[in-house]
Amino acid sequence: MILAELVAQPPCNDTLGMNARTDAPLDLFTFGSTNGHKVAIALEELGLPYELHTVDVFAGEGRTPQFLAINPTGKIPVLRDREADLVLTESDAILLYLADKAGRLVPSGGRERTRAMELLFLQASLQGPMFGQRMHFSVFSPETVAYGIRRYEEQGEIIDSLVDQLLSGRSYFLGAEYSIVDIAFYAWYFASRAAGFPIDRHTSLSGWFERVSARPAVARGVTIPHPLPALPPRKRA
């Protein structure tokens, strides 16, 4: 979604963090959760200066008229590129925009770029929604809904096996080169592991997770704008 211009400045708590600067041409509206982590990691990896705006979407700050004018879904992350007069939502679209802007972390053309797009769509349409529902039913739901827990834990296991297969015999999703596809998948694995969903029995997946975790920009990105809070204990069906 591209809005021609912001209709108002959001009333966010502006927080300066990590490599962020107040005079930067990019604004990142985010909170310390998966989809926001993706963009924070990419900005840190690419060394693009950005101004950080914390929007506590879980306390309703995403539903203010000012924020809804930027993103009608009321969700983070949102990126504003002042120089390009562009406001962009959807974490994987933002990853692609940033990588193209910097000319790094995504193939510029050919079959490799087509493969990267395929995997980004897979992340956005399968891993993200399924892991999101799993987190909801197994961790945050105020009720214990056995069917919901079973359904999404089963889906999670199917995705873990698929990702393990995709990573088999390669260091990263696209082969030898780390890319925004790794960043896109990593953010949900980071949160899922913190919520108590193990991946150890999948050797390719767990090896990849360790490799990506060891990157300094990734370690910084998952603390922006704050470290992941302690999560409630995982419910059992």
Ligand X SMILES: N[C@@H](CCC(=O)N[C@@H](CS)C(=O)NCC(=O)O)C(=O)O
Residues that bind ligand X (CB under 6 A): 33-36, 57, 62, 74-77, 90-92, 124
DSSP code per residue over 59-89: GTGGGSHHHHHH-TT--S-EEEETTTTEEEE
Q: How far is the CB of 14 from ligand X (least distance, A)?
A: 18
SS3 225: coil
CB of 2 to ligand X, least distance (A): 14
What phi, psi does 222 have (nearest 5°)?
-80, 5
Crossing angle (nearest 10°) for helices 34-46 and 128-135? 130
CB of 190 to ligand X, least distance (A): 12
Give the nearest distance from C-beta 74 to ligand X in angstroms.
Answer: 5
- Minimum CB separation of residue 94 from ligand X in Å reads 7
Q: 187 or 217: whose CB is closer to ligand X?
A: 187
Nearer residue to ligand X within complex by CB, 58 or 201: 58
Nearest-angstrom CA–CA distance, 124 and 121 = 5
Of 126, 136, 116, which is closest to residue 160 (Cα–Cα)? 126
Sheet strand arrangement including 78-81: 2-3, 86-89, 78-81, 26-30, 50-54, 13-14
Question: Which residue, 25 or 74, has its beta carbon nearer to ligand X?
Answer: 74
Q: Which is nearer to ligand X, 183 or 202 (CB)?
A: 183
Residue nearest to ligand X (CB): 75
Q: Which CB, 32 or 202, lies closer to ligand X? A: 32
Q: Which of 106, 194, 188 is nearest to 155 (CA)?
A: 188
**Backbone phi, psi, residue 79, to 5°:** -115, 135
Say how far apart CA 129 and CA 72 lie, in whole Å: 19
Give min distance, CB of 154 to ligand X, in A: 22
Helix H or strand E segment including 51: strand 50-54
Q: Closest CB to ligand X among 204 and 223?
A: 223
